[in-house]
Amino acid sequence: MYTASAEYYDLIYSQFKDYAAEVAQLTDLIRRINPAATSVLDVACGTGEHARRLTAQGFSVDGLDLDPAFLAIARRKNPGVRLFEGDMSDFHLPRRYDAVLCLFSSIGYMKTLDRVTAALRCFSEHLAPGGVVVVEPWFPPGGLDAMRVTTNIGEANGVRVSRTARAEIVGRLSRLFFDYEITDAAGTRHASEMHELGLFTVEEQLDAFRDAGLGVEHDPKGLMDRGLFVATPR
């Protein structure tokens, strides 16, 4: 997915994503539901930035991701965190967790409601008694502006990355096109990626949680105005 840009991911997203505020909100949420919570599984952990900050809050954190390039970065940043390569819709780990998180709209990469439900079942199967599942969704149908073009620029340590993003809607699928201009000591080069994420209504996702055996509530604001689903076993 991020085959062209994994090494620049943190440089780009650190410009506008407030990881510290998100982790503070997540810590409060988890401990409000289960004050004794100590263990967290971060599904689609990416480069491990949430994991790093959750560890600093006193949690024992494991991570799961499908992308080996992301996991290599996450290992460098989190030498004490166990990280697993796997598909969020079909994984089996040897531990159960007080909280299973799936953040930054990663659930959208499941593309279909059947795969969303399969992922939620995996999340539920990895919960310890009293555990909580927290999922940050992608946009619903009609919620993504296909006419909008955005550019984000990150610069540090002699590297400058400019990313231009646009979206295309095809039925219930969103396609994100990312074009990169990368400048470093070797010169300037260009790269492109295309990402596909499913578009699901809130009600469809609530039903998927229930089909996975979870009781669920929806917070329409969430961490960054994309909403948040908070679920516990029924």
The architecture of the domain spanning 149-198 is: Single Sheet (2.20)
**CATH 2.20.130.10 domain residues, the chain:** 149-198
Q: Which CATH number fits domain 6-140+201-233: 3.40.630.10, 3.40.50.150, 3.30.565.10, 3.40.50.2020?
A: 3.40.50.150
Q: Where in the chain is the domain with CATH 3.40.50.150?
A: 6-140+201-233
Is residue 45 within 8 Å of residue 75, measured between CB atoms? no
Q: What is the pTM of this model?
A: 0.97
Both structure tokens of 2: 């991020």
Burial 125-149 (b: 16+ CB within 10 A, else e): ebbbeebbbbbbbbbbeeebeeeee
End-to-end CA distance of the chain: 34
Residue length of the chain? 234
Q: What is the pLDDT along the chain (234 residues), one digit of tens a residue?
A: 788 899 999 999 999 999 999 999 999 999 999 999 999 999 999 999 999 999 999 999 999 999 999 999 999 999 989 999 999 999 999 999 999 999 999 999 999 999 999 999 999 999 999 999 999 999 999 999 999 999 999 999 999 999 999 999 999 999 999 999 999 999 999 999 999 999 999 999 999 999 999 999 999 999 999 999 999 999
